Amino acid sequence: MTLNYTGVSMFIIIGFPGNKNVQVLYFIIFLLIYLLTLLGNITLLFILKAEPSLHTPMYFFLSNLAVLEIGYTSVTVPKLLAISLGRAKSISFTACLVQTYFFFFLGSTECFLLAVMAYDRYLAICNPLRYSTLMCNRVCVFLALGAWITGFLNPCPPVIMFSRLHFCANIINHFFCDIPPLLSLSCGNTSVLRMTIFINSTCIGFGTFLLTMLSYACILATLLRMSSATGRQKAFSTCSAHLIVVLLMYGTVIFMYVTPAAQQSTEINKMVSFIYSVVTPMLNPIVYSLRNEDVKRALRRMMLRKLCPGSQSS
Residues 78-99: pLDDT tens digits?
999 999 887 778 899 999 999 9
CA distance 91 to 13: 7
In a domain? residue 5: no
Q: Which residues form the domain of 20?
A: 14-307
Spatial neighbors of 34 by CB under 8 A, at least 6 apart, are 73, 77, 78, 81, 278
In a domain? residue 186: yes
CA dihedral (241, 242, 245, 250) positive or negative: negative
Q: Which DSSP letter does residue 312 get?
A: -
> What pLDDT does 109 receive?
95
pLDDT band of 297, cuts 50, 70, 90: confident
Q: Which neighbouring-strand residues pair with 11?
A: 91
CATH number for the domain that contains residue 181: 1.20.1070.10
Q: State pLDDT tens for residues 188-217.
A: 788 888 888 888 888 888 888 899 889 888
Q: Which neighbouring-strand residues pair with 90?
A: 12
AA identity, residue 203: C
CA distance 127 to 12: 53
Among candidates 236, 208, 288, which has minimal Cα distance to 124?
Answer: 236
- 91: region left, alpha or beta (phi > 0 left; psi from -120 to 50 alpha): beta
pTM score, two decimals? 0.85
CA distance 51 to 10: 48
- Mean of all residue pLDDT scores within the chain: 83
> What pLDDT does 98 receive?
94
C-alpha to C-alpha distances, 275 to 268, 278, 293, nearest whole angstrom: 11, 6, 26
Q: State pLDDT tens for residues 139-185.
A: 999 999 999 999 999 999 889 988 888 888 889 888 999 888 888 88
In a domain? residue 314: no
In a domain? residue 9: no
In a domain? residue 7: no
In a domain? residue 18: yes
In a domain? residue 3: no
Give me the number of domains the chain comprises: 1
Q: Beta 90-92 vs 10-13: how paired, if at all? A: antiparallel
In a domain? residue 141: yes
Q: Are 155 and 105 in contact (CB under 8 A)?
A: yes
Give phi and psi for 36, each to the nearest 5: -65, -40
